[in-house]
C-alpha cells in the first residue's frame, strides 16, 4: 500500500484512530462526510503529511460551480432565487395587514414589527400585472437583522447550480449569480446581504398600486391615443380614415400578439382600442383577457369591431372585457361617436 493509499483510509466510513468512542466523535463518520460532499461538487480532497511536521488537507472545488438550496419566487414575469439558508419563514398576508410608519411599510408578525419591502421596488421591476388582495412575504434573516420581502408568488424549493454572471455583469448590486431552470430560462440569485442594505433606501409603500391608464391632462386632440387591431389592412385603413377627422393619434397592429407586444413596450399610453375578433396567433377575446391582467390597462376601453353578430359572441366579448360591440358593416359616423364617448373626447378639440 502506497503512502497516498494509506492516507486515504481516513475517508473510509467507520475508520477511526480514536482511542475511545463518544456520542460526538470517534465513530469514523466526519471525514467520510467531507469527502462525499466535496465529490458532489465535482471537487477533490488531497492529503499531504510528514511525520513530526504536520498534515495539510487541500480542497479543490471548481470556481464556477456551487450547489445550494434556494427558494424560487415570482415577481411579475420574473423569477428570483433566494438562498434558503437566509429564509426564516414565508407567510401569506392581505393588504389590510400592511401599515405605513414613517414612510415605510411594516407588518405586525406575531409579537414583532417587521419592515417590509417589495422585491420589485429593489430591482426596479415595473408592477404592471394585476395583483390580488393577497401577497406572500419571505422573512429573511441575517445575523440579528430581519426584513420581510414581498413577492407575487412562491414557486418552490429547488437545488440550484450557481453560475457566474460573466465579466460584463459582475458586480450588479443585489445579485450573487444566476442559474438555469429546467425550462431553459435564467433565474437571478439574490445576494441577501446586499439586498437588505438596498432595502433601507426604498421608501415606496410595498403594496402601492400602479395607477390604471395614465390620466395626463389632454391639451390637444393628438394627446389621445388609440390602437387599431385587425389582421385586414383594408379594415384598418377604413377605421383610420373614420377617425382621422378628430385628429387623435393612432397605432396599428396586425393581430392580438402584436398588439400585446406594443402594450408591453410601454411607448404609448392608450385611451381606447378597436379590436377585431377573428385574427391569427391571438384572437380578440384572448387579447382582451390578457390586457385586463395589467393594472395600467385595467380600465382601458376595448371596443370590438367584428362581423360576428351572434348573441353568444357578444356575451363572450363582455366576459373577456369588451365595453362596446360594433358589427361590420358600420358607418364611419357611428364608429367615430363610439370612440369619442369612450375616450371622453373634449368637444373643444373638434
Domains and their CATH numbers in the chain: 3-60 (no CATH), 67-199 (2.40.50.180), 221-349 (3.40.50.2300)
On average, the pLDDT of the chain sits at: 83
Evaluate if residue 1 carries a pLDDT over 60: yes
How far the first Cα of the chain sits from its last, in Å, is 99
Q: How far is CA 322 from the centre of its chain?
A: 27
Residue 129, pLDDT score: 53
pLDDT at 167: 74
Q: Do residues 190 and 81 lie in contact, with contact meaning Cβ atoms separated by under 8 Å?
A: yes
My answer on whether omega of the bond before 329 falls inside 30° of 0, hence cis, is yes
Neighbours of 31 (CB within 10 A): 19
Lowest pLDDT segment from 69-73, 135-139, 165-169, 277-281: 165-169
pTM tops 0.95: no
- Cell numbers at residue 59, please? 480542497
- Under DSSP, the state recorded for 277 is S
Task: State residue 93's pLDDT score.
Answer: 86
Q: What is the pLDDT of residue 333?
A: 92
Confidence of residue 295 (pLDDT cuts 50, 70, 90): low
pLDDT of residue 206 exceeding 70: no
- pLDDT bucket at 65, cuts 50 / 70 / 90: low
Structure confidence at residue 128 as a pLDDT band (50, 70, 90) = low
- Summarised one tens digit per residue, pLDDT across range 218-237 is 888 889 999 999 999 999 99
Contact status, residue 13 vs residue 29, Cβ threshold 8 Å: yes
In this prediction, residue 212 carries a pLDDT of 38
Please check the confidence at residue 349 and state whether its pLDDT lies above 90.
Answer: no
Q: For the chain, what's the residue count?
A: 350
Q: What is the mean pLDDT of residues 309-335?
A: 86
Q: How confident is the model at residue 190 (pLDDT cuts 50, 70, 90)?
A: very high
pLDDT at residue 210, as a whole number: 42
Judging by beta carbons within 10 Å of its beta carbon (0-12, 13-18, 19+), is residue 303 exposed, middle or buried?
A: buried
Task: Round to whole Å and give the CA distance between 110 and 89.
Answer: 13
pLDDT tens profile 80-100: 999 998 999 999 988 778 887
**pLDDT recorded at residue 208:** 44
Q: Give the pLDDT confidence score for residue 331 in this predicted structure.
A: 92
pLDDT computed for residue 237 by the predictor: 94
Tell me the average pLDDT across 7-15.
Answer: 84
Amino acid at each position: 500500500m502506497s503512502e497516498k493509499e494509506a492516507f486515504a483510509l481516513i475517508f473510509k466510513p467507520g475508520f477511526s484512530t480514536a482511542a475511545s468512542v463518544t456520542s460526538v466523535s470517534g465513530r469514523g463518520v466526519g471525514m467520510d462526510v467531507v469527502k462525499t460532499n466535496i465529490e458532489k461538487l465535482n471537487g477533490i480532497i488531497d492529503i499531504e503529511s510528514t511525520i513530526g511536521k504536520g498534515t495539510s488537507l487541500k480542497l479543490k472545488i471548481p470556481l464556477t460551480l456551487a450547489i445550494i438550496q434556494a427558494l424560487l419566487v415570482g415577481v411579475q414575469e420574473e423569477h428570483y432565487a433566494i438562498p434558503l439558508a437566509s429564509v426564516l419563514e414565508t407567510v401569506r398576508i392581505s393588504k389590510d395587514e400592511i401599515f405605513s410608519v414613517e414612510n415605510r411599510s411594516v407588518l405586525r408578525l406575531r409579537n414583532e414589527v417587521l419592515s417590509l419591502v417589495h422585491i420589485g421596488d429593489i430591482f426596479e421591476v415595473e408592477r404592471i400585472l394585476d395583483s390580488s388582495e393577497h401577497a406572500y412575504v419571505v422573512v429573511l434573516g441575517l445575523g440579528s437583522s430581519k426584513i420581510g420581502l414581498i413577492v407575487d408568488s412562491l414557486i418552490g424549493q429547488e437545488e440550484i447550480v450557481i453560475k457566474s454572471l460573466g465579466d460584463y455583469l459582475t458586480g450588479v448590486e443585489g445579485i450573487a449569480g444566476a442559474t438555469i431552470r429546467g425550462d431553459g430560462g435564467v433565474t437571478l440569485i439574490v445576494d441577501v446581504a446586499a439586498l437588505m442594505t438596498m432595502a433601507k433606501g426604498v421608501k415606496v409603500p410595498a403594496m402601492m398600486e400602479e395607477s390604471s391608464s395614465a390620466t395626463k391632462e389632454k391639451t390637444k386632440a393628438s394627446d389621445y391615443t388609440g390602437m387599431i387591431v385587425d389582421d385586414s389592412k383594408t379594415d384598418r385603413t377604413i377605421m383610420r380614415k373614420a377617425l382621422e377627422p378628430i385628429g387623435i393619434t393612432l397605432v396599428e397592429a396586425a393581430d392580438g400578439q402584436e398588439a400585446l407586444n406594443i402594450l408591453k413596450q410601454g411607448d404609448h399610453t392608450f385611451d381606447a382600442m378597436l379590436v377585431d375578433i377573428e385574427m391569427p396567433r391571438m384572437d380578440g377575446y384572448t387579447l382582451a383577457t390578457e390586457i385586463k391582467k395589467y393594472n395600467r390597462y385595467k380600465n382601458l376601453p376595448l371596443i370590438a369591431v367584428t362581423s360576428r353578430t351572434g348573441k353568444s359572441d357578444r356575451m363572450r366579448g363582455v366576459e373577456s372585457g369588451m365595453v362596446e360591440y360594433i358589427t361590420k358593416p358600420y358607418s364611419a359616423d357611428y364608429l367615430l361617436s363610439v370612440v369619442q364617448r369612450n375616450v371622453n373626447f373634449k368637444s373643444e378639440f373638434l
